[in-house]
C-alpha cells in the first residue's frame, strides 16, 4: 500500500475502529446478563467475554494507528460520482424483494427484480430487459423448482 | 495395498452415473467461473451449496470439489488470454502466460497450464490418499487441547497470510468468532445474542453469510466500479495447443517442483493456491539459467505456478477430511456442506465414511481427465464466454444468491441476513478488511469454543493444558509466533512485497 492510499484510508480506519469499539462495548453489556463462570467451569458468557475484550483491544490499536496517520487528500468513497445510485438501487430492490417474495411468489418477484436490475442498473433496453427477466425467471423455475424440486413460494399465481 | 483396494471401491462409487454426471457439472461450472473474472470459486460454491441438499453427500461433495479444482484450471485461461486472472491463484500466470500469448504462443501456454494442472492434480491425489488416512489415524489420540490448537493455528495463519493490515485481519477473525457465538450454546442450551429472534436460535447460517460476503458484495463492488468497461480479448486464432518437445523439456521439472511445492503448501492453512503459485514461480526463477527472461514469456513461469495451485487445491482437503479443520474459505464452505448433511469431518471421518472419502478421491481422478477435455479442445468456447457482458451476469448472480439462500430454511429472514453481510462485506472491502478470516472464524468458532471449554474443565482451569502435550504446544507456539512476527519489520516487509505482487496482478 503506498503512502497516498495509506493516508486516504485514515478516516475510514477511524470510523471502523469506532464501529468495532462500539461493538465490543455492546458485547460487554450483553455478556453482563450471562453467566460467565470461572476458568475451571467456563459458562456460556465466557467465550464472548474473551472476544469482547480482544475486540476492544484491537479496536484501540486500530484507533491509535488511524490517529497517527496524517491525512492529505482523501480518496473518494465512491469510484465515480453516480455509482452510489447503482448500489443503492440494487440494495433497495433486494430489500423490497424480501418484502414481496412470498406474497407475489417466485416467478413474478424474480421477473420484476431481474427486469428492474437489467433496465435500471444494467441500462439494457426495455425489450432486452424483458427478455432477460422472462428467460431467467422461467429457466430458474424449471431448473430449481421443477427439476431439483426445491421449495419455491407460489404466491398469487399459486405455483 | 489397502489404499488400492479402497481406491477401487472409490471408483465403483465415482463411476455411478449420477456421480459422474455431477462430477462433470462441477468441473464444467468450475471452469466457467474460473474463466469469468469477477465470480470466484468461493462465491460459486456458496451459491450452489443449497443445490446439494437434495443430493446424497457423496454426489454433493463430488460436485463442489469439481467446482474448486475446475476453477483452478479455468483461471489460467483468462490470465493467459486477457491478462486478467480468473481467480486469485492465477495472478502469477499473467506474467509469462500473457507474454507468451502476445508472442503468438497462447496455444502452448494454455496447453502446458492444462497438462501441468492435470499432472499436479493427479500427483496430489496420490499424496491425499497416503497422507489423509495417516493423519486421521494419528488424530484419534488427539484431545480437545489439540483440536483447539489446530483451529487456533489455522486462524492465526490465515491472519498472517492475509493481505494488508494484520490488525484488521485479527479484528475480522475476532468478529467472526463473536458472530459464531450467536444462537444456542451447545453445552448449556442457553441462548446468546438472539434478541428473541427465532431465526437466530440455531445461529447465523454459513450459507447466507457466505453468499452475502462473496456473492452480493462482489456484485455491489462490480456495479459500483461501472458496468461499461470492456475487456481486450485475444483475437488471433488459437493453434498448436500441445507443447513441442523443447517446451516439454523445459517444463517437466517445473511441473514436478510445482506439484511438490503446491502439495505441501496446500496442507497448511491459508490461501494455499495463491501462496503455492508464488512460491513455485520464485523457485523456478531462482533455479533457472536465465532468470532475467522471467516475465517476458518463459514457459516454466506458467508450468510451475499452474501445477502448484492445482496440487494445493487437492491437498487442502487433507486437514479438512482428516482433522475436521478447514484451512481456507473454500474448505470451510465444503465443511458447511458436510455438516448440513449431518457429517462431521475429523479423525473418524475416513473410517466412518469410506464411501464419501474414497468416492470423492476417485472422482477427482476422473474430474482431472474431464478437465483436460474441457480445457483443451473447448478453449474456443471459453474465449467466447469471456465476452458475456457483466450487465447480463450480475442479475443472474443475484438470482442464484436469492434462490440459494431462501431454499436453505424457506425463510425470508435469511435473505435479509445475506443482504446485511453483503453490505458489511462491501464496506469491509472499501475499508481494507478481508472477508476470509471472518468466515473461517465463523466456521471454526464453535469447534474452538467447545474444545477450549472442555480443555479448561479437564485441566481444572489451567491454561497450561495447551502446553503440556507436545503437539498442542507446538501448534499454539507456532500460532502465537505467526501473530508476533507481524511486529518484526523483516517479516512485515516480506509480506508487503508479496501483497504488492498480488495487488499488481489484480
> Which residues on chain B are in Cβ contact (under 8 Å) with A83?
223-226
Residue A47 to residue B410, Cβ atoms within 8 A: no
Q: Where is average pLDDT lowest: B108-112, B230-234, B405-409?
A: B230-234
Interchain contact B498–A (C-beta under 8 A): no
Contacts of B156 in chain A (CB under 8 A): none
Q: Do A94 and B415 touch (CB under 8 A)?
A: yes
- Does B64 score more than 60 pLDDT? yes
pLDDT band with cut points at 50, 70 and 90 for residue B31: confident
Cell, residue B252: 517437466
Residue to test with chain B: of A94, A101, A113, most B Cβ within 10 A: A94
**Which range among A51-65, B389-403, B450-464 shows the weakest confidence by mean pLDDT?**
B389-403
* pLDDT (tens digit per residue) in B2-20: 778 888 999 999 999 999 9
* φ/ψ (deg, to 5) at B237: -75, 135
At residue A9, the pLDDT reads 63
Taking CB atoms and an 8 Å limit, are A51 and B423 in contact across chains? no
- What's the DSSP call for residue B162? S
pLDDT (mean) for A12-39:
91
Contact A58 B416 (CB under 8 A): no
Say if residue A134's pLDDT is above 90.
yes
Considering only CB atoms, which chain B residues are within 8 Å of A9? 431-432
Q: Who among A34, A62, A78 is closest to B171 (CB)?
A: A62
Looking at the complex, does the CB of residue B453 fall below 8 Å from at least one CB of chain A?
yes
Look at chain B and report how many structural domains it folds into: 1
Of A79, A83, A117, the CB nearest to B395: A117
Q: What's the mean pLDDT in B127-135?
A: 86
Please state, for a pLDDT cut of 90, what percent of chain A lies above it: 53
Query: What whole-number distance in Å separates Cα of residue B445 and Cα of residue A47?
Result: 10
pLDDT of residue B446: 87
pLDDT at B234 (0 to 100):
58
First to last CA, chain B: 45
Q: Is the pLDDT of residue B77 over 60?
A: yes
* B348 touches A at CB < 8 Å: no
Q: Is the confidence at residue B39, as pLDDT, over 70?
A: no
Nearest CA in chain B to A123: B391
Per-residue pLDDT, A115: 94
- Grouping H, G, I as helix, E, B as strand and the rest as coil, residue B33 is helix
| Residue B206: pLDDT over 90 | no
Q: State how far the Cα of B294 lies from the Cα of B307, in Å rounded to an integer.
A: 17
CA distances from A17 to A23, A58, B345, B429 (A): 10, 8, 36, 15
Q: What average pLDDT does the segment B222-243 reach?
A: 66
Judged against a pLDDT cut of 70, whether residue A51 lies above it is answered with yes
- Of A100-114, B300-314, B346-360, the range with the lowest mean pLDDT is B346-360
Q: Which one of A128-137, B150-159, B403-412 scores highest in mean pLDDT?
A: A128-137
**Interface membership of B506 toward A (CB under 8 Å):** no
Indicate if the pLDDT at residue B504 is higher than 50. Answer: no
Tell me: pLDDT of B494 over 80: no
Q: What pLDDT sits at residue B363? A: 93
For CA atoms A116, A122, A125, A127, the dihedral sign is: negative
- pLDDT score for B506: 35
A58-80 mean pLDDT:
80
What pLDDT was estimated at residue A123?
A: 84
- Is the pTM value of this prediction over 0.90? no
Nearest to B224 among A27, A44, A86 (CB): A86
* Residues A94-101: contacts with CB under 8 Å, at least 24 apart: A94/B216, A94/B398, A94/B402, A94/B415, A94/B419, A95/B419, A97/B402, A97/B415, A98/B412, A98/B415, A98/B416, A98/B419, A101/A153, A101/A155, A101/B402, A101/B406, A101/B412, A101/B415
Q: What is the pLDDT of residue A55?
A: 95
Number of A:B CB contacts under 8 A? 170
| Burial tier of B331 (Cβ tally within 10 Å: 0-12, 13-18, 19+) | buried
- 8 Å CB contact of B410 and A9: no
How far is B431 from B439, CA to CA, in rounded Å? 17
Predicted complex: ipTM over 0.85: yes
Q: pLDDT: is B249 or B214 the higher one?
A: B249
Residues of A with Cβ-Cβ distance to B224 under 8 angstroms: 78-79, 83-84, 86-87
B426 touches chain A (CB under 8 A): yes
Q: Tell me the pLDDT tens digit for each residue of B271-294.
A: 677 778 888 998 898 888 888 888
Q: Give contacts of B407 with chain A, Cβ < 8 Å.
A: 144, 150-152
Q: What is the average pLDDT across B74-93?
A: 77
Give the closest of B171, B224, B463 to A79, CB-based.
B224
pLDDT at B6: 85
> Which pLDDT does position A3 carry in this prediction?
44
Q: What is the pLDDT, as a whole number, of residue B236?
A: 60
Cα(B312)–Cα(B267) distance, integer angstroms: 7
Whether residue A58 and residue B177 make contact (CB cut-off 8 A), yes or no, is: no
Rounded mean pLDDT, B175-196? 89
Among A35, A110, A121, beta carbon nearest to B399: A110
String of DSSP letters for B289-333: S-GGGTTSS-THHHHHHHHHHHHHHHHTHHHHHHHS---SHHHHH
Q: Which domain holds residue B382?
A: 2-505
**From the list A86, A101, A151, which residue is nearest B407 (CB)?**
A151
List chain B residues with CB under 8 Å of A76: none
Query: How much is the mean pLDDT over chain B?
Result: 84
Confidence band of A8 (pLDDT split at 50, 70, 90): low
* The predicted structure's pLDDT at residue B235: 59
Lowest mean pLDDT among B95-99, B371-375, B384-388: B384-388
**Contacts (Cβ under 8 Å, ≥6 apart) of B382:** B31, B32, B35, B74, B77, B375
Amino acid at each position: 500500500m503506498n503512502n497516498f492510499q495509506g493516508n486516504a484510508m485514515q478516516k475510514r480506519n477511524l470510523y471502523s475502529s469506532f464501529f468495532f469499539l462500539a461493538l465490543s462495548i455492546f458485547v460487554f453489556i450483553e455478556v453482563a446478563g450471562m453467566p460467565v463462570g470461572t476458568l475451571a467451569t467456563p459458562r456460556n458468557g465466557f467465550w464472548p467475554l474473551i472476544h469482547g475484550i480482544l475486540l476492544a483491544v484491537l479496536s484501540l490499536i486500530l484507533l491509535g494507528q488511524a490517529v497517527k496517520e496524517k491525512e492529505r487528500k482523501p480518496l473518494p468513497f465512491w469510484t465515480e460520482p453516480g455509482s452510489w445510485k447503482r448500489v443503492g438501487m440494487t440494495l433497495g430492490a433486494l430489500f423490497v424483494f424480501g418484502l414481496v417474495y412470498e406474497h407475489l411468489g417466485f416467478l413474478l418477484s424474480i421477473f420484476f427484480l431481474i427486469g428492474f436490475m437489467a433496465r435500471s442498473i444494467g441500462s439494457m433496453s426495455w425489450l432486452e430487459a424483458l427478455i432477460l427477466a422472462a428467460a431467467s425467471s422461467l429457466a430458474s423455475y424449471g431448473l430449481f423448482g421443477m427439476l431439483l424440486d426445491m421449495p419455491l413460494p407460489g404466491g398469487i399465481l399459486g405455483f | 495395498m489397502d489404499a488400492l483396494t479402497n481406491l477401487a471401491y472409490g471408483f465403483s462409487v465415482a463411476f455411478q452415473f449420477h456421480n459422474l454426471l455431477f462430477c462433470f457439472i462441477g468441473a464444467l461450472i468450475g471452469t466457467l467461473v474460473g474463466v469469468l473474472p469477477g465470480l470466484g470459486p468461493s462465491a460459486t460454491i456458496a451459491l450452489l451449496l443449497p443445490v446439494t441438499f437434495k443430493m446424497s453427500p457423496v454426489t454433493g461433495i463430488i460436485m463442489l470439489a469439481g467446482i474448486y479444482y475446475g476453477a483452478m484450471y479455468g483461471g489460467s485461461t483468462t490470465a493467459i488470454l486477457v491478462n486478467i486472472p480468473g481467480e486469485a491463484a492465477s495472478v502469477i500466470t499473467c506474467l509469462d502466460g500473457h507474454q507468451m500469448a502476445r508472442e503468438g504462443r497462447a496455444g502452448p501456454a494454455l496447453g502446458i497450464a492444462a497438462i501441468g494442472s492435470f499432472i499436479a492434480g493427479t500427483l496430489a491425489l496420490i499424496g491425499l490418499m497416503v497422507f489423509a488416512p495417516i493423519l486421521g489415524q494419528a488424530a484419534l489420540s488427539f484431545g480437545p487441547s489439540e483440536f483447539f490448537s489446530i483451529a487456533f493455528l489455522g486462524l492465526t495463519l490465515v491472519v498472517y497470510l492475509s493481505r494488508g493490515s494484520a490488525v484488521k485481519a485479527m479484528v475480522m477473525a475476532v468478529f467472526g468468532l463473536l458472530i459464531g457465538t450467536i444462537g444456542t450454546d451447545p453445552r448449556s442450551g442457553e441462548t446468546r445474542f438472539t434478541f428473541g429472534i427465532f431465526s437466530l436460535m440455531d445461529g447465523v447460517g454459513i450459507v447466507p453469510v457466505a453468499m452475502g460476503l462473496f456473492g452480493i458484495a462482489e456484485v455491489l463492488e462490480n456495479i459500483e466500479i461501472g458496468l461499461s468497461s470492456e475487456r481486450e480479448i485475444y483475437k488471433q486464432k488459437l493453434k498448436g495447443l500441445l507443447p513441442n518437445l523443447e517446451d516439454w523439456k523445459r517444463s517437466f521439472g517445473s511441473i514436478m517442483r510445482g506439484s511438490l511445492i503446491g502439495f505441501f503448501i496446500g496442507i497448511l492453512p491459508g490461501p494455499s493456491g495463491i501462496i503455492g503459485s508464488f512460491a513455485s514461480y520464485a523457485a523456478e526463477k531462482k533455479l533457472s539459467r536465465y532468470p532475467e527472461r522471467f516475465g517476458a514469456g518463459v514457459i516454466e513461469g506458467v508450468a510451475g505456478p499452474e501445477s502448484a495451485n492445482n496440487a494445493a487445491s487437492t491437498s487442502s482437503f487433507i486437514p479438512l477430511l482428516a482433522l475436521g479443520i478447514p484451512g481456507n474459505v473454500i474448505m470451510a464452505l465444503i465443511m458447511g456442506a458436510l455438516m448440513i448433511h449431518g457429517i462431521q469431518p475429523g479423525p473418524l471421518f475416513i473410517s466412518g465414511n469410506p464411501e464419501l472419502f474414497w468416492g470423492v478421491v476417485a472422482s477427482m481422478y476422473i474430474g482431472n481427465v474431464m478437465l483436460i477435455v474441457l480445457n483443451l479442445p473447448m478453449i474456443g468456447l471459453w474465449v467466447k464466454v469471456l465476452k458475456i457482458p457483466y450487465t447480463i451476469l450480475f442479475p443472474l448472480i443475484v438470482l442464484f444468491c436469492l434462490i440459494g439462500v431462501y431454499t436453505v430454511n424457506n425463510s425470508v429472514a435469511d435473505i435479509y441476513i445475506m443482504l446485511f453481510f453483503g453490505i458489511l462485506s462491501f464496506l469491509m472491502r472499501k475499508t481494507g478488511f478481508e472477508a476470509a478470516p471472518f468466515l473461517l472464524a465463523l466456521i471454526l468458532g464453535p469447534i474452538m469454543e467447545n474444545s477450549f471449554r472442555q480443555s479448561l474443565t479437564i485441566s481444572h482451569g489451567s491454561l497450561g493444558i495447551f502446553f503440556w502435550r507436545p503437539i498442542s504446544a507446538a501448534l499454539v507456539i507456532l500460532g502465537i509466533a505467526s501473530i508476533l512476527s507481524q511486529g518484526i519489520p523483516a517479516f512485515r516487509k516480506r509480506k508487503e512485497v508479496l501483497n504488492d505482487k498480488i495487488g499488481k496482478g489484480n
